[in-house]
């Protein structure tokens, strides 16, 4: 395997996976410009649940970091962390409900299949 070939090793096949827990708590906090305590609080308020390494260390995915960044924006604007977590959860639920509603509407607009 060459240095330019990412097909082997522990990250093989995960480089484009948004759900792969690639980031340690320290690295995640650095990337978000926040503290590890902030990330722990997000877990306490059920916004994100990091996966655990075999050694029990928290590991975060890119998807989880995007969610944490949304909460951090709200907290930076003065929203209490518990409320910020609830807002992000409700926004995601609303988005999913709107997506499903749109799918159902499109399905209802399609002509019925022809018999025969």
Task: For 103-113, write each residue's pLDDT tens digit.
Answer: 999 888 776 66
CA separation for the pair 81, 22 (Å, rounded): 25
Asked if residue 28 has pLDDT above 50, the reply is yes
Q: What is the mean pLDDT of residues 14-43?
A: 88
Contact 30, 54 (CB under 8 A): no
d(CA 56, CA 50): 11
**Is 78 within 8 Å of 36 (Cβ atoms)?**
no
Tokens at residue 5, please? Answer: 């070939």
pLDDT in tens, 39-95: 999 999 999 999 998 888 999 999 999 999 999 999 999 999 999 999 999 999 999
Q: Token pair of 4, please?
A: 């330019």
Kindly state the average pLDDT of the residues 6-33.
76
How much of the chain, in percent, has pLDDT values that exceed 70? 81
């Amino acid at each position: 395997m060459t240095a330019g070939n990412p097909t082997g090793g522990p990250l093989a096949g995960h480089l484009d996976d948004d759900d792969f827990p690639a980031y340690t708590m320290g690295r995640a906090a650095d990337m978000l410009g926040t503290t590890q305590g902030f990330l722990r609080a997000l877990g306490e308020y059920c916004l994100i649940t990091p996966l655990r390494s075999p050694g029990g260390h928290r590991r975060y995915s890119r998807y989880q970091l995007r969610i944490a960044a949304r909460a951090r924006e709200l907290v930076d604007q003065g929203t209490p962390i518990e409320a910020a977590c609830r807002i992000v959860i409700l926004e995601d639920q609303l988005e999913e409900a709107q997506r499903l509603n749109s799918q159902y509407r499109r399905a209802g607009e399609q002509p019925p299949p022809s018999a025969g």
